[in-house]
Structure 1
Amino acid sequence: MLKAMEDEGFGSCSNYRECESVCPKEINVSAITTMNRLLYRSR
């Protein structure tokens, strides 16, 4: 998931739902939370 995120050129989404409300791909906040969790574990 992280590789796909980097390949598509997006990231740094918060868990505050602002990203979800304007996301052109309609990615929901639970997916954003999962991406953030994976990102922090990979560092």
Structure 2
Amino acid sequence: QAVNTDTIMVHVRKIREKIEVNPKNPKYLKVVWGVGYKLEKQN
């Protein structure tokens, strides 16, 4: 069964709202186009 991409985007947005200072300009949870997402290490 395929996952709706809107469902994934909602979850990613909610996670970013919790971990990012500016969720619209993410530093930690980033998109890797064609692959998925990655979590960057904190400096």
TM-score under structure 2 length normalisation? 0.32
The structure in which a higher percent of residues are strand is 2
Between Structure 1 and Structure 2, the one with more helix by share is 1
| Larger of the two Rg values belongs to structure | 2
